[in-house]
Structure 1
Amino acid sequence: ANRVLVGDITYLPIADGANMYLATVIDCFSRKLVGFAIANHMRTELVEEALENASHLRGGLDGAIFHSGHGSVYTSSQFQATCKRLGVAQSMGAVGTSADNSLAESFNAALKREVLKDAKTFANQLICRRDVFRWCVRYNTCRRHTWCGYQTPDEFESQAA
């Protein structure tokens, strides 16, 4: 755990036409969502908050590799400084392809499929925050993964410890 992390941002459509944005940090070893942040903007502070939350949950990230796409929030000097301060080395996939970040992309697809179900949008920002937060908690504690031998990420990490 804590060696290789992946991250991404996905949009969450709201019925009034606005979007919320979710930034994630996932541990590749256990598939555990170790950090996330949700906001009504896509500024660098959003991905910084997700990485800071991961560092807090994990008791630090010194020596970890963080893989993401080439979005401007990840290539910004502000985010690079945050990574340096946390002891995290950045890694980025090829420009223009999401396949290099398939774990994060798969997470985003599962979230939208399982939370929105047949709906196209969240009713409002409050419901979006609530439903996404609840799903993120269940993702680590209840949702079984084939990668983890059909265990939850929390169970998988407990057994590996």
Structure 2
Amino acid sequence: MPWPRCSGYLNAATAPAATWPRTTDSTHGLRCAPNRLLDQPKPTQANRIWVSDITYLPLADGAWAYLYAFQDMASKQVLGWHVAATMPEELVTTALQRAFLAQPPTPELLVHSDRGGQYCGNAYRALLHRHQAVRSQSCRGDCYDNAQAESLWSRFKTEELECREGPAFADLAGAQASAATYFDYYNHQRLHSSIGYQVSYAAHQQSLQTAALNCLA
């Protein structure tokens, strides 16, 4: 069933730029990881590379909520996400913990992000290390390094936010409920042309099963 596309969402482009929240601050002075996606072919198997990003959601009282998600680069499945009223390191680590619960990572899983300070903190780095995952971050000033994660937000804002009657969510709980509904649809119903018009959950499971059979062969 296709997701309905409706009018009514006030796109961020219609608001004064000065009011937009800044989701990436690369002037934090912390040590960033190298961009390990460079010179690598796009993965054809699931659970090899995850991409991630933060976006902002408008609330009715003029405040913002912040949505963070981890997505498998090959299967397109959204594995873990979190919505909060602020965007400290905990926003990222909570989403990552949920992703690890949904999909135990393979050793040397590459987890890519932009250069925000949330991805340089001790808790985030320790969580990756504990699961034998490898941190990767975009090059400075190059938004195309994380294009797939940006594309996810474009789909979310087109297919979910534009269907709302008002320009904003009533409150944080409303934003959380909307994200839950959309990601359930995105993983289990939406067809993705880039993976042969499959749903991402099915493509993810099929890839894992194929990899397991190849290991036994």
Structure 2 length normalisation: TM-score? 0.70
Rounded Cα–Cα distance in structure 2 between residues aligned with 1:74 and 1:82: 11
Note if 1:91 corresponds to 2:91.
no
Superposed, which structure 2 residues align to 1:75-114 within 5 Å?
A: 75-114=120-159
Rounded Cα–Cα distance in structure 1 between residues aligned with 2:51 and 2:95: 11
Name the structure 1 match of 2:63. Answer: 18
Among 129, 132, 136, the alignment partner of 2:183 is 136
In 2, are the aligned partners of 1:145 and 1:152 still within 8 Å (CA)? yes
Residues 67-117 of structure 1: CA deviation (Å, up to 9, x unaligned): 100001012233112211121101111112221101100001111111110
In 2, are the aligned partners of 1:55 and 1:61 still within 8 Å (CA)? no
User: Whose Rg is larger?
Assistant: 2
Name the structure 1 match of 2:108. Answer: 63
Shift of residue 23, structure 1, vs aligned partner: 1.0
Counterpart secondary structure, 1:91: strand
Note if 1:50 corresponds to 2:102.
no
Gaps of 5+ in 1: none
Higher relative contact order structure (alpha carbons within 8 Å, sequence separation ≥ 6): 2
Name the structure 2 match of 1:121. Answer: 168
Rounded Cα–Cα distance in structure 2 between residues aligned with 1:61 and 1:6: 15
Note if 1:31 corresponds to 2:76.
yes
Rounded Cα–Cα distance in structure 2 between residues aligned with 1:11 and 1:97: 20
Q: Percent identity?
A: 33
Structure 1 length normalisation: TM-score? 0.93
Counterpart secondary structure, 1:127: helix
Rounded Cα–Cα distance in structure 1 between residues aligned with 2:63 and 2:187: 28
Residues 42-65 of structure 1: CA deviation (Å, up to 9, x unaligned): 010111111111111113453200
In 2, are the aligned partners of 1:30 and 1:148 still within 8 Å (CA)? yes
Equivalent position amino acid for 1:159 in 2: Q
Aligned residues: 161
Equivalent position amino acid for 1:72 in 2: G
Rounded Cα–Cα distance in structure 2 between residues aligned with 1:61 and 1:14: 38
Equivalent position amino acid for 1:156 in 2: A
Shift of residue 124, structure 1, vs aligned partner: 2.1
Aligned-CA RMSD value: 1.4
Runs of at least 4 residues of structure 1 off by over 4 A? none
Equivalent position amino acid for 1:51 in 2: L
Rounded Cα–Cα distance in structure 1 between residues aligned with 2:106 and 2:65: 27
In 2, are the aligned partners of 1:142 and 1:152 still within 8 Å (CA)? yes
Equivalent position amino acid for 1:39 in 2: A
